[in-house]
């Protein structure tokens, strides 16, 4: 993996809340077209920046984001990995925790950040308009069931991938 001098880069900690439902032994994930913010124009799952009330806890942050963006309360403590995105030209580093909810309550209603949200088969998501290199970490976490740490180095924006690396994820104790 290439290294660049990240001195002076802003770090914005974020979380992705993946709601997973098994249908006919195939994972279906809650995804939809993002209308605003990070990932705009791509198929995304609920997620966003950590808030002070999250107390730096990925499950708490994912729970809040899932409720704010999809009106679902997830029940989980599965932290399946982390994706760290460095966008060179924007001088930003985004460490994003990946939390999977396999059960939840609530009536699905999406926020105005999405055109719609629905449970989509994983294979359909992987062949859709998702951010570059997301296919690899999604497949490794959800199909191979391997906790994964991914680093993505980008140039001018998130779609401009310069380098990519995946390794086993070791949660902090």
Whether 35 is covered by a domain: the verdict is: yes
If one counts the domains in the chain, the total is 1
Whether 3 is covered by a domain: the verdict is: no
**Domain residue limits at 61:** 10-168
CATH at residue 141 = 3.90.79.10
> What is the pTM (predicted TM-score) of this model?
0.95
- Bridge partners, residue 29, by sequence: 20, 120
Whether 51 is covered by a domain: the verdict is: yes
Q: Are strands 148-154 and 92-101 parallel, antiparallel or unpaired?
A: unpaired
Express each pLDDT in 19-52 by its tens digit: 999 888 889 999 999 999 999 999 999 999 999 9
Residue with tokens 């760290």: 84
Express each pLDDT in 89-136 by its tens digit: 999 999 999 999 999 999 999 999 999 999 999 999 999 999 999 999
| The token pair that represents 64 in the structure block | 């809040």
- Residue 61 three-state SS: helix
């Amino acid at each position: 993996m290439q290294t660049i001098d990240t001195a002076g880069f802003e770090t914005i900690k974020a979380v992705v809340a993946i709601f997973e439902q098994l249908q006919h032994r195939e994972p279906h994930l809650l995804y939809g077209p993002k209308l605003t913010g990070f990932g705009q124009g791509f198929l995304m799952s609920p997620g966003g920046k950590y808030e002070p009330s999250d107390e730096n806890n990925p499950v708490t942050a994912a729970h809040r984001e899932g409720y704010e963006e999809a009106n679902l309360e997830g029940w989980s403590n599965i932290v399946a990995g982390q994706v760290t995105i460095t966008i060179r030209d924007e001088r930003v580093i985004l460490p994003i925790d990946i939390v999977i909810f396999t059960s939840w309550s609530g009536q699905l209603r999406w926020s105005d950040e999405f055109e719609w949200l629905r449970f989509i088969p994983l294979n359909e998501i992987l062949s859709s308009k998702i951010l570059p290199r997301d296919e690899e970490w999604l497949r490794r976490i959800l199909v191979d069931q391997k906790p994964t740490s991914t680093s993505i180095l980008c140039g001018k924006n998130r779609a401009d991938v310069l380098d990519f690396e995946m390794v086993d994820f070791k949660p902090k104790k």
